[in-house]
Amino acid sequence: MIDSNPTFRGGLFHADLPDGRSGASIKLTRTELVAEALCEGQPQFAIPLNECQLDLGGASGKMVFCRNADRSLTIFSEDPSFVAAVAQSAYGTLEAQFRSLRARRRGEANRFRVGVVAATLAFALVCVGVYFGVLAAARTAVRALPIRIDEQIGEMAIQSLVPEPRLDADHPATLLAHEIVQQLQPHAAIPEMNFRVLVVASDEVNAFALPGGQMVVYTGLLKKAESPEQIAGVIAHEMSHATLRHGLQGVSQSLGIVAAVQFLVGDLGGLVSIGSQLAQKSILTSYSRTAETEADLEGARMLHEAGIDPVAMAEFFALLEAEVGDIPDVAAWISTHPQHAQRVEDIRRLLQGLPKKQYRSLDLDLKATQQALQ
Amino acid sequence: MKHEMLCRPSATAVRFALDAGEGLTCEVGAMIAMSSALTVETTSRSRGGGGGMIKGLKRMFSGENFFLNHFTAHQPNQTLLIGPTMMGDCVHHPLRGGTLVVQGSSWLAATDEIEIDTTWQGFSSALFSGESMFWVKCSGVGELFLSSFGAIYPIRVDGEYTVDTGHIVAFEDTLRFQIGKASRSLIGSLLGGEGLVCKFQGQGLLYCQSHNPPSLGQLLGPKLKPA
């Protein structure tokens, strides 16, 4: 009678078996689950269906386990037709057990998924928190460091970052830029900083500041300017980067973020060293939008104190933006800086808060300098 | 075919005595020495089984090699000596119709009758346990040899059992494993250095290893000089 029923491949656990386990050939009768062990002697074991306790599990989560009342015998199979046959046997009495098992498994799987999503979100939040924490900590820490560190970094960077050819110290263009720096220096946030200016012979409209007060102005920018006050505007902006110590902040923030990433993720080895090498130039000479806005406002304050109209700085931005379309080189300086309209508005708002002042014009011959550059 | 474990437990090698016509499938690079009347055949499929390229690729994902080496004896009384990559022990697991799920790098050798396939263990096991997404699945009736990093010990699980990630060698497919926290709170689990653990449920045999390759890597990695 047993032989007329279908056979399923599976296994069984019982203390009488060698190692307590064996593969088995399983048959389902009207009243019993019968397993024939695939080991020596091929002993047979049976569980009456009315005392069968079902469980779902195994590596796939889809294996069906049938146990007797005292759990001394377990018959299992992963064969899909076995699952269907067991569910329909014993006049449907096992179907209810199956349904509750499946519901429990679904609940567990859902809870696990929710847990994974929550853990991923928490990790992302920690990363964002660490990022902004490091930025804030770096800003605070940099203020406590001596200016000498900025100067040393700036000196190291001159050779690699300032292009050739550079104009002589007695060239009219260098003298003009130097004179502007002299007039602005007493009004800088750190007047004792060693401000110096180098003029690079290049048609690129560009200027940048290195940490410690070294500034670099391109002849292209001097030729493009319509008044000495506009040049003063750019130089005041660059001096502000130095006095606000944006270069050192960039370095320390990058180092801090690298350290934080290493702490969170583990050693990134080669990736970090390549990344840090690539970042060196951009860290020292280009700043975040926030830093640019800070430099605008501090530059405008310096110009106001020095009696130079800060609107000249805004005018120069406008001039550059108008020409970006025609001359690709102009893009160099403006591309890293905030939107022109926003900058002008920010400067005007700052001036409203400052006491009214009669602005003077700079007694410098820009035309002669521009002719000397031709 | 007879086998003997040599130099147990810290630097175990397995010596096989094969009769004419007997064969063994081994992990690539496992052979230490062999008699002259043994031939080696390297393929991407199990001996006599199907698969080929696809199974080879799946094995690669599980941390095993694309190729398998089949050793066949053509004369009686041939000796084959094999050993694992990592310092540690080996274990013989007689497979009698069941299925054993083996962590990729722990599979060492199997007799020709055993079917070697790969099984998917899910993204979460790979992301959170440090184990691979694919595991080697061995089924059939035959002899299976596993290797471990450090000592290897079997546990008969009946109910629940927790193993730290990276310490699993193999488990019978009647066991279900899930990733869980070591202690009740996640913060506690992380601060306690145990982090996430593998929780086994059900009835079956589990092999664990005393050491864990990723931990050794994390210890040594930062001290190595870049090339």
For chain A, the domains span: 2-103, 145-373
Residues of A whose CB is below 8 A from B221: 267, 269
DSSP B113: T
Band of pLDDT at residue A325, cut at 50, 70 and 90: very low
Residues of A whose CB is below 8 A from B198: none
Structure tokens of A52? 């069968």
For residue A329, the model assigns a pLDDT of: 45
For residue A3, the model assigns a pLDDT of: 47
**B207, B154 contact by CB (below 8 A):** yes
Is B98 an interface residue toward A (CB < 8 Å)? Answer: yes
Residues of B whose CB is below 8 A from A116: 124, 128
Structure tokens of B45? 């499929």
User: Which B residues in the span 29-68 are in contact with A, Cβ-Cβ below 8 Å?
Assistant: none
- Phi, psi for residue A77 in degrees, rounded to 5: -160, 155
B48: containing domain: 2-218
Residues of B whose CB is below 8 A from A20: 156
Residues of A whose CB is below 8 A from B176: 57-59, 61
pLDDT digits (tens, 9 = 90+) for A25-39: 999 888 889 999 888
Residues of B whose CB is below 8 A from A22: 96-98
pLDDT digits (tens, 9 = 90+) for A279-290: 455 555 567 777
- Burial of B138 (C-beta count, 10 Å sphere; 0-12/13-18/19+): buried
Peptide bond into A211 cis (omega under 30): no
The secondary structure of B53-97 as a DSSP string is HHHHHHHHHTTS-S-EEEEEESSSSEEEEE--SSSB-EEEEEEEE
For residue B128, the model assigns a pLDDT of: 56
Peptide bond into B9 cis (omega under 30): yes
Asked if pLDDT for residue A192 goes beyond 90, the answer is no
Q: What type of residue sits at position A161?
A: L
Give B7 or A260, the one with higher predicted confidence: B7
Interior angle at CA B142, CA B138 and CA B148, nearest 5: 55
**A24, A12 contact by CB (below 8 A):** yes
Asked if pLDDT for residue A244 goes beyond 90, the answer is no
Band of pLDDT at residue B171, cut at 50, 70 and 90: very high
A267-288 core/surface letters (b: 16 or more CB in 10 A; e: else):
eeeeeeeeeeeeeeeebbbebe
For residue B113, the model assigns a pLDDT of: 87
Of the candidates B99, B175, B203, the beta carbon closest to that of A74 is on B203
Is B226 an interface residue toward A (CB < 8 Å)? Answer: yes
Q: Whole-number mean pLDDT of chain B?
A: 83
Residues of B whose CB is below 8 A from A13: 174, 203
For residue A212, the model assigns a pLDDT of: 85
Contact state of A58 with B96 under an 8 Å Cβ cutoff: no
Of the candidates B174, B205, B218, the beta carbon closest to that of A266 is on B218
For residue B12, the model assigns a pLDDT of: 93
For residue B16, the model assigns a pLDDT of: 95
For residue A76, the model assigns a pLDDT of: 93
Which residues, 6 or more positions from A199, have their beta carbon under 8 angstroms from its beta carbon?
Answer: A166, A167, A171, A173, A174, A177, A216, A217, A218, A219, A222
pLDDT digits (tens, 9 = 90+) for B22-32: 999 998 889 99
Contact state of A23 with B156 under an 8 Å Cβ cutoff: no
Band of pLDDT at residue A327, cut at 50, 70 and 90: very low
The secondary structure of A31-61 as a DSSP string is SEEEEEESSTT--EEEEEGGGPEEEEESTTS
CATH fold label, A2-103: PH-domain like (2.30.29)
Instruction: Please tell me the distance in Å from A249's CA to the nearest CA on chain B.
Output: 27
Give B95 or B15, the one with higher predicted confidence: B15
- Phi, psi for residue A24 in degrees, rounded to 5: -150, 155
Q: From CA B68, how far away is CA B18, in angstroms rounded? A: 19
Residues of B whose CB is below 8 A from A101: none
Contact state of A112 with B203 under an 8 Å Cβ cutoff: no
For residue A58, count other CB atoms closer than 10 A to its CB.
25
Note whether residue B71 is domain-resident: yes
Asked if pLDDT for residue A328 goes beyond 50, the answer is no
Residues of B whose CB is below 8 A from A76: 174
Band of pLDDT at residue B164, cut at 50, 70 and 90: confident
A49-58, A345-354, B62-71, range with the lowest pLDDT: B62-71
Is B141 an interface residue toward A (CB < 8 Å)? Answer: yes
Instruction: Please tell me the distance in Å from A32's CA to the nearest CA on chain B.
Output: 22
Note whether residue B188 is domain-resident: yes
Asked if pLDDT for residue A265 goes beyond 70, the answer is no
Structure tokens of B206? 């589990």
Q: Whole-number mean pLDDT of chain A?
A: 80
**Comparing C-alpha atoms, which of A74, A57, A73, A81 is closest to residue A8?**
A81
pLDDT digits (tens, 9 = 90+) for B51-72: 566 666 666 666 666 678 889 9
Q: What type of residue sits at position A285?
A: T
The secondary structure of A316-352 as a DSSP string is HHHHHHHHTTT-GGGHHHHTTS--HHHHHHHHHHHHH
Site from B136, B203, B205, B218 to mutate, A interface, most A CB atoms within 10 angstroms? B203
Which residues, 6 or more positions from B213, have their beta carbon under 8 angstroms from its beta carbon?
Answer: B86, B105, B149, B166
Question: Residue A122: helix, strand or coil by DSSP?
Answer: helix
Residues of B whose CB is below 8 A from A23: 96-98, 141
Q: Which CATH number fits the domain that encloses residue B34? A: 3.60.160.10
Classify the phi-psi angles of A266: left when phi > 0, otherwise alpha if psi is within -120 to 50, otherwise beta: left
Site from B96, B129, B131, B190 to mutate, A interface, most A CB atoms within 10 angstroms? B96
Asked if pLDDT for residue B170 goes beyond 90, the answer is yes
Measuring CA to CA, how many Å separate B48 from each of A264, A323, B112? 48, 75, 8
Residues of B whose CB is below 8 A from A61: 176
For residue A55, the model assigns a pLDDT of: 87
Q: Could you report how far apart the first and last alpha carbons of chain B are, in Å?
A: 46
Give B194 or A235, the one with higher predicted confidence: A235
Residues of B whose CB is below 8 A from A120: none
Please give the order of strands across the beta sheet that includes A207-209: A196-200, A214-218, A207-209
Contact state of A65 with B202 under an 8 Å Cβ cutoff: yes
Domain count, chain B: 1
Instruction: Please tell me the distance in Å from B96's CA to the nearest CA on chain A.
Output: 6
In chain B, % helix, strand, coil (3-state, to 5) comes to 15, 50, 35
Mean pLDDT of A40-53: 89
**Comparing C-alpha atoms, which of A182, A308, A296 is closest to residue A237?**
A296
pLDDT more than 90, % of chain A:
11
A281-295, B34-48, B61-75, B123-137, range with the lowest pLDDT: B123-137
**Sign of torsion, CA B209 B212 B216 B217?**
positive
pLDDT digits (tens, 9 = 90+) for A124-178: 999 889 888 877 887 777 777 788 877 887 887 777 777 788 888 888 889 999 9
Asked if pLDDT for residue B145 goes beyond 90, the answer is yes
- Burial of B152 (C-beta count, 10 Å sphere; 0-12/13-18/19+): buried
Is A61 an interface residue toward B (CB < 8 Å)? Answer: yes
Instruction: Please tell me the distance in Å from B7's CA to the nearest CA on chain A.
Output: 26
For residue A96, the model assigns a pLDDT of: 81
Shortest CA distance from B102: residue in chain A: A59
Site from B174, B175, B179, B219 to mutate, A interface, most A CB atoms within 10 angstroms? B174
Return the C-alpha torsion angle A308, A372, A316, A153, nearest 10: -80
Note whether residue B224 is domain-resident: no
Structure tokens of B68? 């398998």
Interface contacts A/B by beta carbons within 8 Å: 70
**A235, A197 contact by CB (below 8 A):** yes
Is B171 an interface residue toward A (CB < 8 Å)? Answer: yes
Q: From CA B106, how far away is CA A293, in angstroms rounded? A: 59
Mean pLDDT of A269-288: 53
Structure tokens of B194? 């145990």
For residue B215, the model assigns a pLDDT of: 81
Q: From CA A125, how far away is CA A260, in angstroms rounded? A: 14
Instruction: Please tell me the distance in Å from A175's CA to the nearest CA on chain B.
Output: 49
Q: How many CA atoms lie within 13 A of A191 on its CB side?
A: 9
Band of pLDDT at residue A324, cut at 50, 70 and 90: low
For residue A4, the model assigns a pLDDT of: 59
Asked if pLDDT for residue B227 goes beyond 70, the answer is no
Measuring CA to CA, how many Å separate B154 from each of A128, B41, B88, B171? 44, 32, 15, 9
Interior angle at CA A82, CA A77 and CA A86, nearest 5: 110
Band of pLDDT at residue B187, cut at 50, 70 and 90: low
pLDDT digits (tens, 9 = 90+) for B202-225: 999 999 999 988 788 888 888 888
Give A26 or A205, the one with higher predicted confidence: A26
Shortest CA distance from B120: residue in chain A: A60
Contact state of B221 with A267 under an 8 Å Cβ cutoff: yes
Structure tokens of B156? 């008969």
- Burial of A110 (C-beta count, 10 Å sphere; 0-12/13-18/19+): exposed
Give B38 or A87, the one with higher predicted confidence: B38
For residue B126, the model assigns a pLDDT of: 55
Note whether residue B189 is domain-resident: yes
